[in-house]
């Protein structure tokens, strides 16, 4: 697992790797507004795939379809339907998607503002930078929008950029990342791994805003995740020596965070 939290312009931006949209969707429902605007929906499936609106209908998610100037379709749906949307989207080979939450169905002007905030014109230099990199250089999307409380960008259904007004969502994401990493210990056995409590997450974020984790020990009764603060060398991210070990006890369904003493 990989996790990074950055605060800029009063916006908390979470970067995560090896985590899919379907894993985060319940968290977005939990903290977000009732309406979700879903756009820039791209996938790997060859020619003949449906448009975004037709795809949502095939998945079984009710959505209002709005045709944008660039020809793409923007979907307006209940935020509660995001888990079903992300789950169904996986069958089409997900590539990229953007999601903003809204307190009410958007007007045409609000939809244009939302798309414009995400689709910022690239600068003259650095033309080879990806759209995702340009967003990072331009600043948070939420800093230019008033209504949304979160902005989600998923890439390859494995890399995530998630913006929010407070660090509450970031804390939930870090907990979910740890739980998902622990769940990898049982490939042939169905085991429910609860997310760590806020006390565990708070201790980690007090020490660092960048973490990498991997399974260090497993048994029929427990699984341990070694957690290391991220370091950067030659512009590459790597993990140092573990500072903590998070242990999930299956019988008690509880997490314990142990500091590594050297």
Q: What is the pLDDT of residues 135-188, one digit of tens each?
A: 444 689 999 999 999 999 998 778 999 999 999 999 999 999 999 999 998 877
218-237: pLDDT as tens digits:
998 999 999 999 876 555 66
List the chain domain ranges: 2-166, 184-259
Q: Which two tokens stand for residue 78?
A: 């209940």
**Alpha-carbon span 52 to 41, nearest angstrom:** 7
Indicate if the pLDDT at residue 123 is higher than 50. no
Between 24 and 191, the higher pLDDT residue: 24
CA dihedral over 87, 91, 96, 102, signed as positive or negative = negative
Tell me which residue has tokens 């045409």: 108
Ramachandran region, residue 157 (left: φ > 0; alpha: ψ -120 to 50; beta: rest): left
Specify whether the CB–CB gap between 162 and 4 falls below 8 A: no
Q: Give the global pTM.
A: 0.88
**Alpha-carbon span 228 to 241, nearest angstrom:** 6
pLDDT computed for residue 212 by the predictor = 95
């Amino acid at each position: 697992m990989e996790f990074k939290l950055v605060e800029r312009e009063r916006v908390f931006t979470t970067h995560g790797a090896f985590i899919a949209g379907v894993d985060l969707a319940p968290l977005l429902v939990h903290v977000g507004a009732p309406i979700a605007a879903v756009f820039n929906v791209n996938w790997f499936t060859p020619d003949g795939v449906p448009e975004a609106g037709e795809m949502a209908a095939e998945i079984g998610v009710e959505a209002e379809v709005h045709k944008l100037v660039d020809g793409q379709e923007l979907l307006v749906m209940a935020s509660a339907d995001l888990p079903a949307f992300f789950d169904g989207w996986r069958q089409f080979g997900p590539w990229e998607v953007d999601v903003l939450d809204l307190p009410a169905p958007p007007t045409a002007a609000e939809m244009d503002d939302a798309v414009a905030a995400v689709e910022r014109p690239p600068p003259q230099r650095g033309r080879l930078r990806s759209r995702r990199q340009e967003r990072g250089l331009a600043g948070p999307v939420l800093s230019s929008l008033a209504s949304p409380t979160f902005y989600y960008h998923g890439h390859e259904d494995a890399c995530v950029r998630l913006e929010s007004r407070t660090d509450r969502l970031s804390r939930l994401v870090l907990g979910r990342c740890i739980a998902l990493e622990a769940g990898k210990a049982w490939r042939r056995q169905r085991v429910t791994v609860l997310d760590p409590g806020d006390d565990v997450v708070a201790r980690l974020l007090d020490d660092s805003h960048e973490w990498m984790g991997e399974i260090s020990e497993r048994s029929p009764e427990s699984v341990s995740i070694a957690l290391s603060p991220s370091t950067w060398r030659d512009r590459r991210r790597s993990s140092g020596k573990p500072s903590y070990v998070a242990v999930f006890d299956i019988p008690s369904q509880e997490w314990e965070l142990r500091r590594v003493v050297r």
